[in-house]
C-alpha cells in the first residue's frame, strides 16, 4: 500500500509538470526525489545495478566534462527511467490514470474556450502555476489558439506541445502491452486532437513505420541513429537555404542540423551557450528567426541541441551510450522522433518515457527472467504481440 502511495505521488508530479516549482530559472522536479521514499525502489536499483551502472556512469562523466548541468540531468533521467521500470515491474504504475486526469482537465479547458475564452485562459498552465507557486511558478506558455478551426490546450503540462508529446509517448507505451484498452486508446486520441501540435505527427510516423518494424528491428540502433541524422541534416540544410520558410517552429526543431555546418569548429568541440550563439551567429537568418527562444536560454531541438550544449566529444559519447544500450532499431527510431523537439538530456516527463520505450524490449525480457522464480509478480507484457 505504501509503495502504491509513493507511486501515485510520483506520477502526479511526473504528468502534471506545473505542480513543480522553479527557483532561479531551474525547475525543481519533485518526482526525482519521491521514488527514494520507497525503500523497495532502492533495493530494485541495487539488484539491477550491474545492468545499468556502467553506461550511466560513462554518460554522466562525459557530460560533466563540459556541462555539469547536463550531467545532473543525465543522472536525473536515469532515476526516472529506473522508477518507471520499477513501478511497471511491480504493476503499480499510475501513468495512465494520471494521463486520464490530464485529458479530462484538458477537455474542460477545450470546452471553456468556446464558452468563456478568458476563463479558459485562467485554467491555462501559466495562471495555474502562478496560483500555486507565485514567484516560483515554473516556466509555462498558455498557447491556446486555433489550429484547423479548433483550439489546442495543455492539461497540466507546461504548454500544448509538451502535452501532445507526453500523450504520444504514453500512448505508444500503452500499445506495447499485450491487450491495449480500446477505450483508453480512444481517450488518448481525443487528447491528441485537443492538444494538436507538430509533436502529434510522431504518432503518424509511428503508424507509418509499424509495418516495417521487423526490418527496423534487424538494424543496429547506431545505424538507425546515423541514418536519421544524415536524412534530417539534408532536409535541414535545404530548409535553411530558404530560411525555413520564415517558420520559427521549423527553425527551432531543425536549424541545429544546419548550424553544425555553419559553426566554427572550436564552438562545436567545446559547446556554445545561447547568449554566445546570439553574439557570434546572429548574422545567420535562422538564428535571428529563433532569437526569442535563444533569449530564454533555449538551444536547438533534437541531437544538435545536445552537441551545441555539451560539445562534440561529450555529445557523441552520450549518443553512443544511448545507441548501444537501445533494444533495437525500431524503438531507437521512435525515441528519435519523440525527442526531436528538445535535447535528449531534457528531464521533462515525455523524454524519460521515450527512454523507457527505447529500452522496453530488453527490459521486458530481463524482468521476466528476474521474476521467474517468484510468484509475487506477473511477467511483463510481451513486446508487440502482433
pLDDT at 373 over 80: no
pLDDT digits (tens, 9 = 90+) for 306-328: 999 999 999 999 999 999 999 99
Q: Average model confidence (pLDDT) for the chain?
A: 90
Range of the domain at 230: 221-322
pTM tops 0.75, yes or no: yes
- Residues 238, 126 within the same domain: no
Decide if 215 is inside a domain.
no
Number of independent structural domains in the chain = 2
Q: Does residue 152 share a domain with residue 54?
A: yes
226 within domain boundaries: yes
Q: Is 84 exposed, middle or buried (0-12, 13-18, 19+ CB in 10 A)?
A: buried
- pLDDT of 386: 37
- pLDDT band of 372, cuts 50, 70, 90: low
Banded pLDDT at 196 (limits 50, 70, 90): confident
The answer to whether residues 140 and 264 belong to one domain is no
351 belongs to a structural domain: no
Q: Are residues 128 and 18 in the same domain?
A: yes
Asked if residue 243 and residue 298 are part of one domain, the reply reads: yes
Q: What is the mean pLDDT of residues 138-163?
A: 88
Q: Which uninterrupted H or E stretch holds 151?
A: strand 150-151
Mind giving me the DSSP string for 86-134?
A: HHHHTT---HHHHHHHHHHHHHHHHHHHHH-HHHHHHTSHHHHHHHHHG
Do 127 and 272 lie in one domain? The reply is no
Are 138 and 99 in the same domain? yes
Helix, strand or coil for residue 23? Answer: strand
Report the pLDDT averaged over residues 163-170. 95
Tell whether the model's pLDDT for residue 369 goes beyond 60: yes
- Whether residues 182 and 236 share a domain: the answer is no
The answer to whether residue 285 is domain-embedded is yes
The answer to whether position 290 is within a domain reads yes
pLDDT of 81 strictly over 90: yes
- What digits encode the pLDDT tens for the residues 52-75? 999 999 999 999 999 999 999 999
Residues 85 and 192 grouped into a single domain: yes
Residues 278 and 370 in one domain: no
Instruction: State residue 330's pLDDT score.
Output: 95
227/263 same-domain check: yes
Confidence at residue 167, expressed as pLDDT on a 0 to 100 scale: 96
The predicted-structure confidence for 218-256, as pLDDT tens digits, reads as follows 999 999 999 999 999 999 999 998 888 888 888 888 999
Residue 299 lies in a domain: yes
Assess whether 230 and 312 both reside in one domain. yes
C-alpha grid cell, residue 329: 532499431
Gyration radius (Cα) of the chain, Å = 20
Phi, psi (rounded to 5 degrees) for 191: -60, -40
Among positive and negative, which fits the CA dihedral 321, 268, 337, 167?
A: positive
334 within domain boundaries: no
Nine cell digits for residue 74: 543525465
- List the one residue out of 117, 74, 102, 119 whose CA is nearest residue 355: 74
Residue 383 has pLDDT above 70, yes or no: no
In a domain, residue 337? The reply is no
Angstrom distances, CA of residue 366 to CA of 48, 80, 379: 10, 18, 10
- Residue 136 grid cell: 516560483
Q: Which of 322, 338, 353 delimits the end of a domain?
A: 322
Amino acid at each position: 500500500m505504501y509503495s502504491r502511495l509513493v507511486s501515485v505521488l510520483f506520477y502526479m508530479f511526473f504528468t502534471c509538470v506545473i505542480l513543480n516549482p522553479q527557483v532561479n530559472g531551474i525547475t525543481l522536479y519533485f518526482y526525482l526525489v519521491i521514488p527514494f521514499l520507497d525503500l523497495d525502489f532502492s533495493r530494485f536499483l541495487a539488484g539491477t545495478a550491474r545492468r545499468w551502472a556502467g553506461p550511466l556512469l560513462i554518460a554522466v562523466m562525459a557530460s560533466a566534462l563540459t556541462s555539469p548541468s547536463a550531467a545532473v540531468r543525465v543522472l536525473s533521467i536515469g532515476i526516472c527511467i529506473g522508477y518507471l521500470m520499477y513501478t511497471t515491474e511491480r504493476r503499480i504504475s499510475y501513468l495512465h490514470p494520471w494521463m486520464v486526469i490530464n485529458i479530462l482537465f484538458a477537455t474542460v479547458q477545450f470546452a471553456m474556450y468556446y464558452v468563456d475564452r478568458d476563463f479558459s485562459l485562467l485554467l491555462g498552465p501559466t495562471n495555474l502555476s502562478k496560483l500555486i507557486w507565485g514567484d516560483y511558478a515554473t516556466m509555462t506558455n498558455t498557447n491556446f489558439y486555433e489550429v484547423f478551426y479548433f483550439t489546442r490546450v495543455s492539461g497540466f503540462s507546461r504548454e500544448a506541445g509538451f502535452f501532445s508529446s507526453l500523450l504520444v509517448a504514453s500512448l505508444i507505451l500503452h500499445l506495447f502491452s499485450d491487450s491495449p484498452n480500446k477505450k483508453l486508446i480512444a481517450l488518448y486520441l481525443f487528447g491528441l486532437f485537443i492538444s494538436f501540435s507538430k509533436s502529434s505527427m510522431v504518432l503518424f510516423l509511428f503508424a507509418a513505420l509499424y509495418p516495417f518494424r521487423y526490418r527496423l528491428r534487424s538494424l543496429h540502433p547506431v545505424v538507425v541513429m546515423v541514418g536519421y541524422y544524415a536524412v534530417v541534416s539534408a532536409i535541414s540544410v535545404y530548409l535553411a537555404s530558404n530560411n525555413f520558410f520564415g517558420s520559427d517552429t521549423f527553425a527551432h526543431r531543425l536549424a541545429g542540423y544546419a548550424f553544425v555546418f555553419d559553426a566554427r569548429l572550436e564552438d562545436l568541440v567545446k559547446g556554445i551557450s545561447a547568449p554566445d550563439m546570439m553574439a557570434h551567429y546572429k548574422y545567420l537568418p535562422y538564428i535571428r528567426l529563433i532569437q526569442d527562444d535563444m533569449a530564454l536560454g533555449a538551444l536547438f531541438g533534437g541531437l544538435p541541441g545536445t552537441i551545441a550544449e555539451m560539445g562534440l566529444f561529450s555529445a557523441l559519447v552520450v549518443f553512443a551510450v544511448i545507441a548501444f544500450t537501445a533494444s533495437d532499431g525500431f524503438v531507437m527510431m521512435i525515441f528519435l522522433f519523440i525527442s526531436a523537439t528538445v535535447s535528449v538530456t531534457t528531464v521533462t516527463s515525455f523524454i524519460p518515457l521515450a527512454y523507457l520505450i527505447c529500452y522496453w524490449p530488453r527490459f521486458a525480457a530481463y524482468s521476466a527472467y528476474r521474476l521467474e522464480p517468484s510468484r509475487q509478480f506477473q511477467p511483463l507484457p510481451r513486446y508487440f504481440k502482433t
